[in-house]
Amino acid sequence: MSDTSTTTDLVLDVKGLEGGYGQIQVLHGLDFHVADGEIVVILGANGAGKTTTLRAVSGMIPRTGSVKLRGEDISNAKAPDLVRKGVAHVPQGRGTLPELSVEDNLRVGAYIRDDNEVDADIDKWFGVYPVLGERKNQRAGSLSGGEQQMLAVSRALMSRPSLLLLDEPSLGLAPIIVAELFERFAEINKETGTTMLVVEQNAQLALGIGDRGYVLESGEIFTEGPADDLINDDAIRKAYLGV
């Protein structure tokens, strides 16, 4: 990214982000940004603060520092308001509504919308993931892990976000399902231009679809760079790619 890019190109601009749980501070001043249309990956080991970073961005935990969405300060916005500003968050561990049917999960994903295209969008996602269409009247909690992740992502995209936050979408899923899921993320990014911030432990896959990446260690940014550079960086390869 060149320095000429202005804040209007930045979907998300985070400076000095700190946050944690109760007395425990997890994030120690993170600076990162996501430009329009990018897929940015945040890598890190267990406990590095990846999930906390996403939760801080979307207003689910108390945080300090500056968080700007397309230039607008959202440092004090709470989760339900951020959805209305175009941020959708797929939390770790699916984040579906287990007692609701598959179709109702998608419908509730469009909760903030008032237009007439909700039904058409539901059909669109049933087209993208036919297995969801076959099970539309089934309770979401009865789906397999992979199906629930498909539903969680579709549910998030039902709000027609401009920024999608994905928290370890690969967690607990079979490798082949994860590969399909990530292929789909890349397609969605290309087709709809949805900007994505992905937190992952599966560095290989995430960097495979990502434009840039940040590596998080103990709540600080350890290194950052274009995805291709990170994938070829020896230190990163040893620490996070397991090769």
Partner 1 sequence: MELFLNRISDGLSNGATYALIAMALVMIFKATTLINFAQGEFAMFGGFIALVLATEQGIPMWGAVFGSMVITAVCAAGIERTLIRPFDPSDHLPLVIITLGLFLGINALAGIIWRFDPRAFPELFPSGNALTYGTATLSWYTVGTLVTIAVVSGGLTLLLNKTKIGLAFRAVSSNLESSELVGIKVGPTLQFGWAIAAAVGTLGVCVFVASPFRQLEPNVMVTGLIFAVSAAALGGLDSLGGAIVGGLAIGLVQSIAVPYLGVPSELSLLAAVAVLMLVLLFKPSGLFGTPQVERV
Sign of CA dihedral 3, 9, 12, 14: positive
The C-alpha atoms of residue 131 and residue 64 are separated, in whole angstroms, by 42
Residue closer to partner 1 by CB (options 61, 203) is: 61
Nearest distance in Å: CB 49, partner 1: 19
- Choose between 100 and 241: whose C-beta lies nearer to partner 1: 100
Give whichever of 99 and 119 is closer to partner 1, judged by the CB atom: 99
Task: Tell me the closest approach of the beta carbon of residue 159 to partner 1, in angstroms.
Answer: 7
Q: Which is nearer to partner 1, 20 or 95 (CB)?
A: 95
Task: State whether the Cα torsion 196-115-152-16 is positive or negative.
Answer: positive
**CB-CB contact of 215 with 230 (8 Å):** yes
The distance of closest approach from Cβ of residue 90 to partner 1 in the complex, given in angstroms and rounded to an integer, is 8
Count other C-beta atoms under 10 Å from residue 234's C-beta: 8
Least Å from the CB of residue 196 to partner 1: 16
Is residue 57 classed exposed, middle or buried when 0-12, 13-18 and 19+ CB atoms within 10 A define those classes?
buried
Residues near partner 1 (CB under 8 A) are: 58, 60, 78-81, 83-84, 88-89, 91, 93, 95-100, 104, 107-109, 111-112, 141, 155-156, 159
Q: How far is CA 196 from CA 28, 113, 156, 172, in A?
A: 23, 21, 12, 21
- What is the total residue count of the chain? 243
CB 202 within 8 A of CB 44: no
Cβ atoms 37, 9 nearer than 8 A: no
The answer to whether the CB of 61 falls within 8 A of the CB of 20 is yes
For the bound state, the minimum distance from the C-beta of residue 240 to partner 1, rounded and expressed in Å, comes to 27
Q: Would you tell me how many other CB atoms lie within 10 Å of the CB of residue 21?
A: 11
Between 96 and 211, whose beta carbon lies closer to partner 1? 96
For residues 171 and 241, which CB has a smaller minimum distance to partner 1 in the complex?
A: 171
Distance CA 44, CA 239 (A): 9
CB of 165 to partner 1, least distance (A): 9
Shortest gap between Cβ of 221 and partner 1 (angstroms)?
25
